[in-house]
Amino acid sequence: MTIEYRQITDAEQRQFWKVVARGFGGHYTAGQENYRIDRELLPPATTMCAIEDREIVGTSASFPFESAVPGGAIVKNAGVTAVTVATTHRRQGLLNNMMLRLLRQEREKDQPVASLWASESIIYSRYGFGISIQHENFLIDTRKAAIKHSPEIPGKIRFISGDEARKVLPAAWEAAVQANVGIPRKNAAAWDHYMLDVNSGSGDWGKPWLIVYEEDGKALGYAKYLLKEAHVFGEKTHGMINADHVIHSNAASHAALWNHLLNVDLYDSLSTWCSPSDDSLPWMLDDPRQLQRKPYDGVWYRLLDVAEALAARTYLAEGSLVLEVEDSLVPEWGGRFELDGGSGGATCVATTKPADVTLPTASLATIYLGGAKLADLHRAGRVEENTAGSVALADAMFTTVRAPWCPMMF
């Protein structure tokens, strides 16, 4: 049969979610409320699927995100998600065809960048994606890890219930969006989906606990954590804490949340899955060796419109560069671009001037948010320097005070 590539229809939405769940090894058994939220999260216009004889055999979609870039501007960001190919249709070009069509679709919506979490890290560089946000897993023995250094904490921590959380957490999340590069905003459907998890719990871990940090009644951060009991009365055993979210927008909210998490009684092991690569917790601890850190690739970015994406952000140092961007997936999206930027803003236009630096779009995406240095990519053979000193200038411009961060799986 011929493979058809298109958006799904309203009538195909439940089949879409079943195929997505199957692609990640699960069964889609959502109740009516869950299904309503799923339909709102990814309506048909956000999808691009492969269909054979009315059966969906490949899926992809994109959340219409907004997130901050260096300098604080909020830009449209196509959050690529739900990418699967049925095992019955592997090695037939379905993924290539879906990704090309999905990225073209999102560019036509005037989204200058796309982002994704890669379930398999070998896949997405061929589509122009580069590792833009790196994270770390933390594992801490709380019996030995004490906070020695801390900024002033003018606010307070308090517990909140699930009912109150739906009202309070969006404000804390938005504060983090404004304070950090890379965190997507959440719409109402995303918060409804989040609260389903809060209210239903997570298997053996049970329902999560929620705390919020506030200053003068304003929510500036929160933590969602789960507890797995391992203590028995009269016996010395140790429980575990899974800090699923530690969302902070300033130094005080970060310190207050961590002070709480490291002092939960009867639970001696604490883990996180998504800490920023420049998290200040190691510098706060009395003994930093009690903190085990495992770095990993977090979010991959792809520039859909090079000129618009580069002009949207600011740059730490003033400078001018001509970049030759090689886009093997969509050659017309590449070309030569002249970037003039500084702390006050930037312009970026197509040009015929000689290139200072030549690089593939994946390498440009890797440095876009300031999470990596062009010099490192140059030493790895992923960048060509045509004008002496241009790589150093690029690093001076693209570097950021804080590393990008995205504590949201999508």
Residues with catalytic annotation?
Answer: 124, 410
- Greatest CA separation found in the chain? 77
The Cα–Cα gap between 11 and 253 comes to: 45
The CA angle 149-151-156, to the nearest 5 degrees, is: 115
Contact 42, 59 (CB under 8 A): no
Amino acid of residue 314: T
Residue 200 CA to residue 7 CA, distance in Å, equals 32
**Cβ pair 315, 397 in contact under 8 A:** yes
User: From the CA atom positions of the chain, what is the Rg in Å?
Assistant: 23
- The amino acid that residue 99 corresponds to is M
* DSSP SS3 for 185: coil
Nearest partner of 337 among 387, 326, 100, 125, judged by Cα: 326
Q: Which of 253, 282, 293 is nearest to 145 (CA)?
A: 282
Pairing of strands 357-360, 384-385: antiparallel
- Secondary structure of residue 20 in the 3-state scheme: helix
Pair 308, 162: CB distance under 8 Å: no
- Burial pattern 224-238, b for ≥16 Cβ within 10 A else e, equals bbbbeeeeeeeeeee
What is the number of alpha carbons within 13 Å of residue 243 lying toward its C-beta?
Answer: 29
Q: Which helix (H) or strand (E) holds 365?
A: helix 361-368
| φ, ψ of residue 303 in degrees (nearest 5) | -85, 120
Q: Measure the CA angle with vertex 177, ends 221 and 110; round to 5°.
A: 160
Burial of residue 98, with CB atoms counted within 10 A of its CB: 0-12 exposed, 13-18 middle, 19 or more buried: buried
